[in-house]
Chains A and B, each alone.
Chain A
């Protein structure tokens, strides 16, 4: 079977600094993948290249057989990229909810404006997605009134409302107070159980071990090691992976 997502030779440079030095991997539909690695290893950049929030310097990304970000050999504009980006739901470290819109509106607006649903359909969809993240009770609130964990759950609902083929999580719990991390991880666990395809950049090693099918360890802009979650986390082969995991545990 063809992979849902395939990444080949992905490179990204900022000026003279090469942050990604040739990344290759594939993701099958329904697969859960955790990207771990020290800060500055390129894991966030790698995720952000997938929907072209960062423009890759080289390499190819295919989602469901479709080349992302390049058409007829030319780099697409943000306008041309819009429908491709809509196929991928993205959850940010800092939530990035829109504070001028209500919680429901944050989830509903793209359904109307991007997917062309009617106001009622979009509203229903939004409430359905908010139910998934257990936020129905704050549907009319402003994002500003919510805790970090609640904001992140709404942000997850917003991404789910896109009906994406793939969910991208960019350190979704890194900005949260420790006692709020759990509620977000629990929602993500439930999504994983639904069989969604998820790519998760995270520092939550235990979470990665428990819900990911596969873990990729990035360091210095390359994939140093990858493998089934338990194997990689419990018995890493590479010295760099061992050192990183040891550091994180203490």
Chain B
């Protein structure tokens, strides 16, 4: 077998894996960002102390336990009590729940960076607290949080590699099974590196575009 045809075969083997990696990345990104934003709003603007405490506890717990442990609990732990998730669902849920804790902090520091005068000026023109939050504070907080959210998205893409540990059929999962059957270790893992790079670069570009479009914000 020539080197080229081996390489093509390897690439074909990865096709499904790339799809799952993209799916898990995007789905857990959406879940994580939505959850994180909601938690940040409740934590920043909600009045209930008990809710503040619960959100803080959630963030600490999620961030101080390894992602792999979370995934094992969701996939194997839940299955053992009769609640079976597919590997992909467990991966999306696990990374999304962790992402909620991570992005909650990013959004909160975005809100915290805004001078109080921004809020006061909004209330002074007759905005309700709801309008103040969504018309004035959120657009600015999002812009401030954008660079760190971008870093998080790129980190997340790379972190999806660990969901191969619960047999979610993404890039690394295919890589390992191909290595076991073909022993083309170097070729396969270098191809994996190239694939992550191909996925990561456009993601980075998209983030840079958003930053240049909306990122300027200094009062």
Q: Which residues of A contact B (CB under 8 A)?
A: 51, 53, 77-79, 81-83, 85-90, 92, 94, 96-100, 109-110, 113-115, 143-144, 155, 158-159, 162
Give the docked Cα–Cα distance between A73 and B106 (Å). Answer: 41
- Determine the chain A residues whose CB is within 8 A of the CB of B48 once the complex forms: none
- Determine the chain A residues whose CB is within 8 A of the CB of B219 once the complex forms: 97, 99, 143-144
Choose, from B74-82, B120-128, B192-200, B202-210, the stretch at the interface.
B120-128
Given known pairs A100-B140, A144-B216, the reply for A113 and B131 (CB within 8 Å) is yes
Is A78 within 8 A of B128, CB to CB? yes
Is B124 within 8 A of A53, CB to CB? yes
Is A113 within 8 A of B127, CB to CB? yes
Give the docked Cα–Cα distance between A100 and B140 (Å). Answer: 6
Q: Which residue of B lies closest to A111 (CB)?
A: B125
Across the interface, A100 reaches (CB within 8 A) one of B123, B124, B130, B139, namely B139
Q: Which residue of A lies closest to B132 (CB)?
A: A78
- Determine the chain B residues whose CB is within 8 A of the CB of A51 once the complex forms: 124
- Determine the chain A residues whose CB is within 8 A of the CB of B130 once the complex forms: 79
Give the docked Cα–Cα distance between A213 and B120 (Å). Answer: 28
Q: Which residues of B contact A (CB under 8 A)?
A: 115, 117-118, 120-131, 135-136, 139-140, 143, 216-219
Give the docked Cα–Cα distance between A82 and B126 (Å). Answer: 4
18 A-B contacts, Cβ less than 8 Å apart? A77-B129, A78-B123, A78-B128, A79-B130, A82-B128, A85-B123, A90-B121, A90-B124, A92-B124, A94-B115, A96-B117, A96-B118, A99-B217, A99-B219, A113-B131, A114-B126, A158-B121, A162-B125
Give the docked Cα–Cα distance between A82 and B135 (Å). Answer: 15
- Determine the chain A residues whose CB is within 8 A of the CB of B115 once the complex forms: 94, 96
Is A99 within 8 A of B117, CB to CB? no
Give the docked Cα–Cα distance between A115 and B125 (Å). Answer: 10
